[in-house]
């Protein structure tokens, strides 16, 4: 293993800071004399044998660059890979992991640094088990990545701060137009089943109402808070809604079901539903803005550049020390390592005692769970 080639891949959704991690992993490995390959488009590059050398010139000057120079994919689990369509229209999912092992053997890859979220770590765990069943000891080191900030075992993930900054800036801009036209502006934010982005962007942008998946709310309470603000002379309101927020007794709004993805449920539409219900219940004009992939794009903010660098270097050190199977994380401000399999298919949600949640309530932000 000490002389084996190390591969780096970025899997799942993109986010600001991925290139900073690639840089931080590759440079220490190259300095130690290791051969480093970049896998194109996540696990898909392993399936299709698309790997390329990473050298110092390749990974220089990319710290502040958004996206990922390697590309990514969130539809390429080798154990459940879409290979066709059945007569009834359903997708044929096949195990193509032998193609992955052939690619790794061809390039003498014995260790992979996976930069991804819970789905990517689950994929790595499954692929390692499949390899062991064939007598192949494939080793991984993981780096947690997601704008959603929902990976279990780490206090924060890189990309989150950048996404919050983008969302908060959007809320700031929407406030002026909302005030000018005396409207309610509903901002739909990403986050899947976790409300971290909505909570932090809502607090940073001074949203009047924040709706998150972790707190059951009602349309009645939302409408009542908006009308209460009107009575106080505040003729506009800002509602920050996480895409996974669902009313008490209701269900999340689903935009699409994609069976080729690790998580086939694609959320979206709660913002439009909220705007419609607010207008119906208050007779106040309401508009919905869906930020969508705007939250993923652009250069990482400084704090994400620093965090991504720290995590990438920690992953490289784990490789050089042959500490395999760990995910580098941040706990109480310190870098640590936890088993990759411990985070697979799990999500870190906002706890009831979260200090940001408490601070928001203290400044009279409504979460739609209490009547006015």
The answer to whether residue 32 is domain-embedded is yes
Dist CA 39 CA 50 (whole Å): 6
19 neighbors 69 (Cβ within 8 angstroms): yes
- Could you tell me the two tokens for 247? 């009313």
Render pLDDT for 105-120 as a digit per residue (tens, 0 to 9). Answer: 999 998 999 999 988 9
Residue where the block lists tokens 């203290």: 362
What pLDDT, on the 0 to 100 scale, is given for residue 371?
82
Q: Look up the CATH number of the domain holding residue 293.
A: 3.40.50.460
Answer yes or no: do 12 and 66 share one domain.
yes
What pTM does this model have? 0.93
pLDDT band at 2 (very low <50, low <70, confident <90, very high): very low
In sequence order, what DSSP letters do the residues of 237-306 get, joined into one string? EEEEEETT--BTT--PPEEEE-TTSSS-EEE--HHHHHHHHHHHHH---EEEEE-GGGGT-SPPPHHHHH
- pLDDT, tens digit (0-9, with 9 covering 90-100), for 225-238: 999 999 999 999 99
368 part of a folded domain: no
Question: Rounded distance, CA 162 to CA 303, Å?
Answer: 8
Position 371 in a domain: no
**DSSP secondary structure code for residue 12 in this structure:** S
Domain of residue 75, CATH code: 3.40.50.450
The reply to whether 189 and 237 lie within a common domain is: yes
Q: Do 260 and 335 belong to one domain?
A: no
pLDDT digits (tens, 9 = 90+) for 197-218: 999 999 999 999 999 999 999 9
Number of domains within the chain? 2
Same domain, 85 and 216: no
**Ranges of H-type helices in 32-159:** 43-47, 97-106, 118-133
At 245-302, the pLDDT tens digits run 999 999 988 888 877 766 778 889 999 999 999 999 999 999 999 999 899 999 999 9
For residues 212 and 355, membership in a common domain is answered with: yes
Residues 6+ apart with CB under 8 A from 162: 15, 16, 17, 147, 298, 299, 300, 301, 304
> Among 209, 201, 210, 206, which residue's Cα sits nearest to residue 168?
201
Active site residues: 148
Strand partners, 6: 36, 111
Chain segment 59-73, per-residue pLDDT in tens: 999 999 999 999 998
Residue 149 located in a structural domain:
yes
The string of pLDDT tens digits covering residues 9-34 is 999 889 999 999 999 999 999 999 99
My answer on whether 74 and 179 are in the same domain is: no
Could you tell me the two tokens for 179?
């005030």
Q: How far apart are CA 367 and CA 210, in angstroms?
A: 5
> Under DSSP, is residue 78 helix (H, G, I), strand (E, B) or coil?
coil
Is residue 96 assigned to a domain? yes
| Residues 332-364: b if buried by 16+ CB within 10 A, e if exposed | eeeeebbebbebbeebbbbeeeeeebeebeeee
What average pLDDT score do residues 52-62 get?
A: 97
Return the closest-CA partner of residue 113 out of 4, 25, 23, 30: 25
Burial of 276 (0-12, 13-18, 19+ CB in 10 A): middle
Q: Is the pLDDT score of 1 beyond 60? A: no
Q: Are residues 202 and 255 in the same domain?
A: yes
In a domain, 249, yes or no: yes
Answer yes or no: is 372 within a domain. Answer: no
Q: Which residues pair with 8 in a beta bridge?
A: 38, 113
Residues 240 and 280 in one domain: yes
Contacts of 347 (CB under 8 A, 6+ apart): 118, 150, 151, 152, 192, 193, 194
The pLDDT, as a whole number, for residue 3 is 64
Q: Give the list of residues 6+ apart from residue 333 with CB closer than 8 angstroms, or none.
A: 155
Residues 152 and 261 in one domain: no
Task: Identify whether residues 293 and 303 lie together within a single domain.
Answer: no
Mean pLDDT confidence for 129-152: 94
**Has residue 110 been placed in a domain?**
yes
CB 20 within 8 A of CB 304: yes
Closest C-alpha to 82, from 246, 259, 251: 259
Residue with tokens 């996404």: 163
Domain ranges, residue 139: 5-157+299-342
d(CA 165, CA 322): 37
Per-residue pLDDT tens over the stretch 66-108 = 999 999 988 889 999 988 888 888 888 899 999 999 999 999 9
237 and 150 in a single domain? The answer is no
Please indicate, yes or no, whether residues 15 and 129 belong to a single structural domain of this protein: yes
pLDDT class for 372, splitting at 50, 70, 90? low
Q: For the chain, give the mean pLDDT.
A: 94
Q: What is the DSSP letter of 148?
A: T
């Amino acid at each position: 293993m000490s002389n084996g080639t190390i591969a780096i891949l970025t899997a799942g959704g993109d986010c600001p800071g991925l290139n900073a991690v690639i840089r931080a992993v590759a440079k220490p490995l190259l300095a130690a004399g290791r051969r480093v390959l970049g896998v194109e488009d996540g696990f898909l590059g392993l399936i299709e044998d698309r790997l390329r050398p990473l050298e110092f010139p390749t990974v220089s000057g990319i710290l502040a660059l958004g996206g990922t120079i390697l590309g990514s994919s969130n539809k390429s689990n080798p154990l459940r890979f879409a290979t066709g369509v059945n007569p009834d229209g359903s997708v044929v999912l096949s195990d193509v992991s032998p193609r992955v092992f052939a690619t790794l053997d061809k390039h003498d890859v014995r260790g992979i640094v996976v930069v991804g979220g819970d789905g990517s770590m689950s994929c790595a765990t499954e692929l390692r088990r499949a390899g062991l069943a064939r007598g192949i000891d494939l080793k991984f080191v993981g780096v947690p990545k997601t704008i959603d900030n929902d990976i279990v075992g780490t206090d924060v993930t890189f990309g989150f701060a950048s996404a919050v900054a983008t969302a908060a800036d959007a809320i700031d801009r929407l406030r002026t137009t909302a005030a000018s036209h005396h409207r309610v502006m509903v901002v739909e934010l990403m986050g899947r089943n976790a409300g971290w982005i909505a909570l932090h962007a809502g607090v940073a942008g001074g949203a009047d109402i924040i709706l998150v998946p972790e707190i059951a709310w009602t349309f009645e309470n939302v409408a009542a808070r908006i009308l209460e603000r009107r009575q106080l002379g505040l003729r506009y309101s800002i509602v920050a809604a996480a895409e996974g927020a669902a009313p008490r007794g209701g269900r999340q709004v689903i935009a699409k079901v994609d069976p080729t993805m690790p998580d086939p449920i694609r959320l979206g539409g709660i913002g439009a539903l909220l705007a419609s219900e607010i207008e119906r219940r208050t007779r106040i004009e309401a508009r919905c803005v869906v930020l969508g992939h705007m939250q993923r794009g652009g250069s990482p903010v400084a704090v994400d550049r620093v965090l991504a660098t720290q995590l990438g270097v920690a992953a490289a050190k784990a490789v050089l020390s042959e500490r395999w199977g760990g995910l580098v994380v941040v706990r109480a401000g310190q870098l640590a390592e936890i088993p990759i399999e411990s985070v697979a298919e799990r999500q870190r949600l906002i706890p009831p005692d979260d200090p940001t949640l408490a601070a928001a309530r203290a400044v009279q932000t409504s979460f739609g769970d209490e009547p006015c």
